[in-house]
Amino acid sequence: MRIIPAIDIIDGKCVRLSKGDYQTKKIYNENPLEVAKQFADSGIQYLHLVDLDGAKSNHIVNYKTLESICSQTNLKVDFGGGLKSNEDLRVAFESGANQITAGSIAIKNPHMFYEWLEKYGREKIILGADCHHRKIVTNAWLQQFEVDVLDFIKDKKSKGVRDVICTDVSKDGMLEGSSIGLYQEILNEVDVNLIASGGVISIEELKQLSKIGCEGAIIGKAIYEGNISLKELEELC
Q: Which sequence spans correspond to the domains of the chain?
A: 2-236
Q: Report whether pLDDT(143) > 60.
A: yes
Q: Which of 8, 51, 88, 168 is catalytic?
A: 8
Amino acid at 152: F
* The predicted structure's pLDDT at residue 19: 65
At 195-204, the pLDDT tens digits run 999 889 999 9
* The predicted structure's pLDDT at residue 47: 98
34 pLDDT band, cuts 50/70/90, is very high
Active site residue 163: no
**Interatomic CA distance for residues 196 and 172, integer angstroms:** 11
Q: In whole numbers, what is the pLDDT of the chain averaged over residues?
A: 92
The percentage of residues in the chain with a pLDDT greater than 70, rounded to a whole number, is 96
* The predicted structure's pLDDT at residue 20: 66
* The predicted structure's pLDDT at residue 80: 95
Q: Report whether pLDDT(173) > 70.
A: no
Instruction: Please state, in angstroms and as integers, the Cα–Cα distance from residue 209 to each residue in 172, 212, 215, 222, 231, following that order.
Output: 16, 5, 9, 15, 20
114 pLDDT band, cuts 50/70/90, is very high
* The predicted structure's pLDDT at residue 174: 62
Q: Report whether pLDDT(176) > 80.
A: no
Q: Which of 53, 88, 130, 163 is catalytic?
A: 130
* The predicted structure's pLDDT at residue 148: 97
Q: Report whether pLDDT(3) > 90.
A: yes
Q: Report whether pLDDT(183) > 70.
A: yes
* The predicted structure's pLDDT at residue 140: 55
Active site residue 8: yes
At 41-89, the pLDDT tens digits run 999 999 999 999 998 888 999 999 999 999 999 999 999 998 999 999 9
pTM of this structure: 0.93
* The predicted structure's pLDDT at residue 170: 81
Minimal CA–CA distance to 102: which of 138, 70, 68? Answer: 138
At 210-231, the pLDDT tens digits run 999 999 999 999 999 999 999 9
CATH dotted code for 2-236 = 3.20.20.70
**Interatomic CA distance for residues 82 and 10, integer angstroms:** 13
